[in-house]
Amino acid sequence: MTRTMTPIELEEHYAAHNYEPLPVVLARGQGAHLWDVNGRRYIDMMSAYSAASHGHSHPRILAALEAQAHRLAMPSRAYYNDRLGLLLAELCRRTGLDAALPMNTGAEAVETAIKAARRWGYRVKRIPRDRAEIVVAQGNFHGRTTTIVGFSTEADYRADFGPFAPGFRAVPFGDLAAMAAAITPDTAAVMIEPIQGEAGIIVPPQGYLAGVRRLCDERGVLFILDEVQSGLGRTGAWFAFEHEHVVPDGLILGKALGGGILPVSALVGRRELTDVFTPGSHGSTFGGNPLAAAVGLEALHIIEDEKLVERSRVLGAFMLTRLRAMRSPALKAVRGRGLWVGAEIDPAYAGAREVCLRMLTKGVLSKDTHGTVVRLAPPLVIERADIDRALDVFEETLDEVARHREPAVA
């Protein structure tokens, strides 16, 4: 009799190998906890890259999903529906911007921003046809489409996926002088993350965002921020741009907007930017469907009602203080804001993936990035006791790798 394949074996056999998951098979989630198929509980210190900021299986999100699914889920944007306008109005109220265009994934919203910036460049700024450029930052991560990976500076994201679309200039993140030098009369927009997530939670120098805002105003260039990961409370503010008291011309949102259940994203912007779209010039079959709109609206209300922004600010400060007090030689640096932290591991002692694997065995789930950084970004609903426990495990793990491995000789 043929043996039944395990979940890991099934994925390894039938899935394209575009991920390298940690060896745990999850079956259930509630709040800031996850359970594997054997019933073991874990503290979630990853929150699905901010998609599960509300925690897993939030009862209000589930109720909104069920109620709307029974009413109307997917009529397409060929018709109006009674949910979408409510979501877009709340997004505009919360961001201080004028209009929004709904999409599904974060990458789709980024592509929407690129199209909007280019059309604005031609129709408003009067850039000569097909010469519009967008300035981006080195180390960026805006998604996985061919256009987006084409302006990535990470070799692994680009390898053998070309030819790529032209029209992008990459400059060092956090360097205002380099940004100023890159802007030309053909520049339509600057598009950056206010904090670079996939790059390792890279926080720019204080005043950088305000400086970019001033530069864009002086040069007649759009300022577009990708807050797919950093937005909706992750950094201890509704949006990371609020830490510097600036407002972008275009704001890209996603992940947490779906309440951990659905892909929901949007480009929110000034009317001058969003008005470049005309019927037929852009669209999405699923974007703006009433099921997604109902979930997205409830996700926004929960952030406000449960004071998740304040929780992120207070608990994030606690987490950063504890991490920065750790004196392990295996810990090189700690970077972050709110409940979004990158802990850089000295590769002389261990790789970040090894640290994550060791933490997994102790009941804490995290994920490495760029080989040396452990991401610590729990759901915003997490309790302080769970953060304490997760940081205890992290510190124990650092002690283990420091004790059992001598640093490599230079």
Contacts of 40 (CB under 8 A, 6+ apart): 363
Q: Are 187 and 212 in contact (CB under 8 A)?
A: no
The one-letter code for the residue type at 23 is P
From the candidates 173, 223, 226, 241, give the one annotated as an active-site residue: 226
Nearest 5 degrees, angle CA 122-CA 168-CA 268?
60
SS3 (DSSP) at 12 = helix
Q: Catalytic site residue 125?
A: no
- 226 catalytic? Reply is yes
> What single letter denotes the amino acid at residue 17?
H
| CB half-sphere exposure, 149, CA atoms < 13 A | 13
Q: Is residue 318 among the annotated active site residues?
A: no
DSSP 63-114: HHHHHHHHH-S---TTS--TTHHHHHHHHHHHHT-SEEEEESSHHHHHHHHH
* Active-site hit among 141, 151, 286, 394: 141
What gap in Å lies between CA 361 and CA 183, rounded to an integer?
49
What SS3 class is residue 391? Answer: helix
Q: Reduce the DSSP state of residue 7 to 3 states and report it.
A: helix
Q: How far is CA 79 from CA 6, 7, 32, 71, 105, in A?
A: 45, 41, 38, 15, 21
Tally the C-alpha atoms within 13 A of residue 298's C-alpha that lie toward its C-beta: 23
DSSP letter at 46? S
Contact 253, 109 (CB under 8 A): yes
Nearest in space to 77 (alpha carbons), one of 297, 296, 293, 285: 285
User: One of 249, 255, 368, 386 is an active-site residue; which one?
Assistant: 255
CB 186 within 8 A of CB 127: yes
Residue 333 CA to residue 372 CA, distance in Å, equals 10
Task: Please answer whether residues 173 and 227 qualify as being in contact, where contact means their C-beta atoms are separated by less than 8 angstroms.
Answer: no
Token output for 377: 């970004």
Catalytic residue positions? 141, 226, 255
